[in-house]
Structure formats: structure tokens, C-alpha cells
Structure 1
């Protein structure tokens, strides 16, 4: 049996790379981690009540499509949140539950990526830096992952239209994250319009990772769903992914959804019915309650806005305010060196941007779009964040 598999090209995970980078370094002060984007939110009482009320249903197999209660709550949220007609986002045709967005972002390619496109191995394009599951999905389904630079010069959003014709002809799907992880960049209406026009011309689907859509600072992000409906009076070629890990601060619930084109949802649901995990019924009940409630989301967003304001007061012009999400993307010269120094001198654990990216030119580390950056997660309590950022300021 060969030791080589198609996943050999999968990069090591960013936190494994961070552990290796810091393994011989002792923290210089009491340790604080701003590396992991773990919201660590308080669990709302209505979530606990829903889980307790439906606990007996752990004894039954759940349905892949979710309960009627969940479907109605999810569809109503999508329509209300993104300003869509309620009769165009229907509970039975336009939404599907997921075990968190990572589950869906990985499995979604399998029913849609062909064996060949333009006579060659198909391409799945993604931003660079990127959420590692995008690459894992592309490689696992036999596609070639294409890492498209997301740089300051293009607003930290990949310019897919600038790719060569021979590359565009092979693209089967593109991932796009807005607000983006790690940069916090937000796609504009015109960006979405151009991307969908390209998708129409080049025959690919758009996988919009919008799990940070409810965490913003000045204005709510324009959703791919809103833009596509305004452009085409429908959702063709689009699947949009959303998560209660970020919206509700409940990553341990492992609950999300995908919404979009009814035909794509039907095909994805059929695939998941034989190859995907169901969301347990008590989790669906708690999730439905989360999709229906906005008060806890508003409170969470206010807390993130307070944390971002504190970061601005401490770091000043050393940082740039993101459009959304809960990360800072700090330019520091050499991200790995800075992360080692922050840990050794200040006891602050940061994630080097290079761990989330790939070199554009093989062997040239500075060609990695994340080389000059560190990602800073503003998810701890406000006091801890302020202490950590005051330490970081000392070495900026």
C-alpha cells in the first residue's frame, strides 16, 4: 500500500504550526492566549431549557433535514436578517442544518465537483490566507486547491476575475469568507455582483462562508444572499454558510446552517442523507431558539464592539479596524518572529499569519500573504484583552 495520498498536500494546521514554533520558548509573563478564536460565550437560559425539554430525543435518530421547528426558525432568520421575501426562502427548500459550518464547508464539494472540467483536473479556488478546511475539502474530493492572494492592495479579498482564462475554465467552485478570517474584510455589493457574474460566465458555484455576519462594527455586512437575490431574483450558484458558534457564541453546540439555491440544497441534502451526520434533535431545538432570538446576539455584538474600541485606544494607528469578525490583523514585519517575541517577552500567544497562508512562490517565505502579520483574537473578557494588548504594544 502506498504511503502517499491526495491529502499529502494538505498544510499542517495553524495551531500545530504555532505549537512547533513556540515549543522551546518559555512565556516571559503570566500566559494569555489571543491565538484561538474561541468565543467562550455564556450559554443563554433558553438554550439550556430547550436542551432539557428535548433531552429524551437523544434516544432517537434525527432527520438530516432537521425538524419543522428548526427549518421554520432558520428560514425566518435568513429572510429577516438579509431583507429577503419570506416566500423566497422556504423552510423545506432553502435551508439545511449542519454540525457547525466546518462540517458543511468540508462536505459540500463532494456532490458538486466533477471528475474533469475543461478536460483537466477541476480547481477549487480559495482566499490566501484561508480557513484550512477549504483546502482539505478540495484535496479530499480530488480537486486542485488554488490559493488566490488576499492582500491589502485588493482589500484583503481575492480577485478571482484576474486569474488566467485557462485557470478560470477549470474552476468548479470558489470559497469566499466575508467578514473574512483572518483579516476582517467585508465584501461589498459590487464585489458580490462581479463574483456572481464571473460564476455565470465560467460555470462554477460560490460557497460563501458568512459565519461572522452578525459581528460587525460600523454597518452590517452585505450578504451574498442579499446581493444574489437583487441581481438575479433568486439564489442560483450560491450556498451561504452560517454558524451559531459565532452568532450566538456557542461553539460547543456544533450547530450551523447552509442556505441558498433550492436545487443545490436538494442535491446537498441527498448527499448528506447517505454520507453526512445529522444534528441531534435536542440540538436542533436549542438552535431554533437561537435563530429566533436577537437579544443575545445584540449583546454579544456590543461586547465585541467594546473590545474593538479598547483595542483602538491601546494600539492606536498600529492597527486597522476590521469591517467585521473578532480578529485584528496586525502588520508586524515578520509574523513568526513577532509571535515568538510576544510569547518570550510578554507571555502573549498570537497566531502568525503565515500559518494560515501558503507561499505564492515555492520556497520564498515572504511570498506568503500572511508573512508580515499576526492574527489577534479579541474573544477573552475585556480586562484580559486590555492587559494582553498593553503588553503587545510594548514590543510593536
Structure 2
């Protein structure tokens, strides 16, 4: 059997690759898994009760786009958080986790050609793998944009030549960024939106980590688009309850944007989507409407930022980020560091190069490891001290 070659440029997926690196070797101490960004803080206690109270709805097909009540709850959150008013029925669609939306939005909105040529999708490097898979699925060329210390850990779109920009159909941006925790400023959004207007491409803003930050809430893409008067179809944003509310298993996310763009995504969803079961939508309505649990969880992440800052004080490049819950720590070689850490201490982290692509002989993640700050505070403190003593002293 002959299979399509469109994904042949992809390396092995992150997690099998990591297991292949670490699992052949015994761990050197009490195991502490800091690889995956799976929140471990408590989720809102009312979720289980709401699911149980609505369990009869498991016997019904759920609406593809989300219940009106859920869409209104999401639009209400956007209004409170970003001061942007959305028409819930036309500008919001519920997602079965943000990954689905980040993929299907490209399927629905990427043109077959752009200015008579094969389209380009811009992807930050390092990146969340679904961006590249979505681009390859629609037959686009992927241009990997370095997001390095020199660029502030966000892509520098101004460095692109006009020929590339004229072929660009979509630009993925993650803010706060995974893995580095960098935040796109208002000026950053303004400049990117000006480029998008000039060269007529879409901005897909992955904002899944928007509610995990030190003190000042990160600027949102819809917020900036409203402020700068960008075309209403120019920007789509993607959010989730996974990080905000410690509910990765609830699979409640959303995409919001212009009504024409959302209409196209809804049309695809009608054929290819997998909506949330109704009891989960009922629970999600309440979660999007509640901020108390978000504030409590954020305070715990801030405490972990402080722990990391103390543990790595005086070590260049090792302070905690402004947002998100990953440490992006500089090392000489990410794979060697991860293997050394595992075999000598029992701590599992992710080599940064596994999240990036080699371009012109350079992989911008090779000199880093990603550490997920998801463990309990005391466990996090002892784990980071073990990490520091193993790799930095």
C-alpha cells in the first residue's frame, strides 16, 4: 500500500521520541515527571456535580457548534477578560479541545493558492506540533520562524521578505508562548496586524496559556485587533479550559473571530467535528463563568515562579517566565542534559530540540530543556534543586 508523503518531513512525535531516549536507561532517583504540560492543580469542585446532574443528556446528540448557553458563557468571558463584544451565535464556536480548532481552522480557511502560488503557513520555531501538521495537511509550504532569545522568544515577522509575505495565508502565533513563556505586546500585535492587512493573511492566535501569568494579564489578539481597527476577519483566537481551569480532560475550548471565518469552520465541523457531550458542555458553561478557581490556581503558579527564581538565582537565562508554566532552561545539549538528569536524579524533562525544526542546519531548541512546573510546590522546589545541582553546578 502506498501512503501519502505529505508528512514525511515530520520527525517522530515528541513523546515516543522522548521514551526512546530515556526508557532504555534506569532512573537515578525518585521519579519526578516534568515533561508534559498537564496541570495538576485542583479543578473546580462543582464540575463533577454538574456532569452528574446532567447525565441524562449523554443520551442525546450534542449540537456541533456548542449549546447557546455555552457560547454565551464564552462570549461573556471574552467581554470581561478582553473588553471585546462578540456575537455568541456567529463569532464563537465551541471546540473539543483547542488542538482540534488549531488544525481544522487551517483546513477550513487556508486557500489552495495565494496570489497564484502555493500558500505559505508561518509557524514559530519551537512550536506546538499541530501547527505544522495542519499546514502540511492543506498542502501549504511551512516557513519556520525562529523564536529565540535574540527575537524575544517570539517570531520576528518583520524579517520576512515581501515574496514570502505575499504567499502567506496563515501565521500561527502562541502568546504566552509554549515553551518559552514570552508575551506578545500591544506593539507586537499592532505590527503583525499591519503586515497581515498589507499582505492579506490570517492570524491564528493560540492563547491557551493566557490565564497563567505573574501579575499583568497578557494582551489578547482580539483585544489588540479591536483597539487597532483590524479587519474583523483578520484574527482568530483559540482558548481552552485545560490550563486556565486545570481541566485538560474536559476538552472544552473555543475559537472566536469574524462571522465569515467562524461560519466556514462551522461548516467543516458539521462533517468532521467531534462536539463535546452535553453534560460536559453544561459543566463548561459554569467553569467559563467562574474566576475564583482561576485566581487560586494562578497564585500557585506565581509561587512556583518565585521558587524557580530563588533556586536559579545568578544562573543566566534560568529565571521563571512572565507567563505560562514552563521553564525554558539553557543547556549545552538538550538531549544530553535530559538523559543525564534522568539517569542521575530520576527527573524527566523534555529536550528543547524535540519541539523545534532544524532550519539551515540549526535547531533553535537544541540548547534548551523544557521543564513543566506542574508538580506540587514542595515537590517542585526539591526537584528544581536536584536539577540545578545536576546540570548547573
TM-score w.r.t. length of structure 2:
0.96
Q: Check conservation: 2:197, 2:230, Cα contact below 8 A.
A: no
1:226-375 aligned at under 5 Å gives the runs 226-232=223-229, 235-318=232-315, 319-361=318-360, 364=361, 367-375=362-370
Q: Which residue of 2 aligns with 1:66?
A: 66
Q: Check conservation: 1:192, 1:224, Cα contact below 8 A.
A: yes
Q: Which residue of 1 aligns with 2:50?
A: 50
Which stretch has the larger CA shift, 227-236 or 258-267?
A: 227-236
RMSD: 1.3
**How big is the shift at 1:234?**
6.0
Q: Check conservation: 2:308, 2:319, Cα contact below 8 A.
A: no
**Matched residues in 2 for 1:102 and 1:305: separation?**
26
Q: Which residue of 2 aligns with 1:185?
A: 182
Q: Measured at CA, do residues 59 and 151 of structure 1 come closer, stay the same or move farther in structure 2, by a change above 3 Å?
A: same
Q: Which residue of 2 aligns with 1:26?
A: 26
1:198-213 aligned at under 5 Å gives the runs 198-213=195-210
SS of the equivalent of 2:216 reads coil
Q: Which residue of 2 aligns with 1:41?
A: 41
Q: Measured at CA, do residues 106 and 233 of structure 1 come closer, stay the same or move farther in structure 2, by a change above 3 Å?
A: closer
SS of the equivalent of 2:314 reads helix
Q: Which residue of 1 aligns with 2:373?
A: 378
Task: List runs of 5+ in structure 1 lacking aligned partners.
Answer: none
1:81-100 aligned at under 5 Å gives the runs 81-84=81-84, 88-100=85-97
Q: Which residue of 1 aligns with 2:9?
A: 9
SS of the equivalent of 1:278 reads coil
1:135 lines up with 2:138 in the alignment = no
**How big is the shift at 1:131?**
0.2
**Matched residues in 2 for 1:124 and 1:217: separation?**
31
Q: Check conservation: 1:177, 1:208, Cα contact below 8 A.
A: yes
1:85-124 aligned at under 5 Å gives the runs 88-124=85-121
Q: Check conservation: 1:10, 1:139, Cα contact below 8 A.
A: no
Of 167, 171, 175, which residue of structure 2 is paired with 1:174? 171
Q: Deviations over 1:225-276 (max 9, x none)?
A: 1100001176331110001000001101111011121221111112211221
**How big is the shift at 1:12?**
1.9
Q: Deviations over 1:76-118 (max 9, x none)?
A: 000110122xxx3121122110001011111111111111113
Q: Check conservation: 2:193, 2:230, Cα contact below 8 A.
A: no
**Matched residues in 1 for 2:231 and 2:131: separation?**
25
**Matched residues in 1 for 2:43 and 2:77: separation?**
20
Which stretch has the larger CA shift, 34-43 or 288-297?
A: 34-43
The size of the alignment, in residue pairs, is: 389
SS of the equivalent of 1:337 reads helix
Q: Measured at CA, do residues 245 and 381 of structure 1 come closer, stay the same or move farther in structure 2, by a change above 3 Å?
A: same
Which stretch has the larger CA shift, 62-71 or 207-216?
A: 62-71
Q: Check conservation: 1:63, 1:278, Cα contact below 8 A.
A: yes
Q: Check conservation: 1:41, 1:250, Cα contact below 8 A.
A: no
Q: Check conservation: 1:40, 1:250, Cα contact below 8 A.
A: no
**Matched residues in 1 for 2:16 and 2:118: separation?**
30
SS of the equivalent of 1:64 reads coil
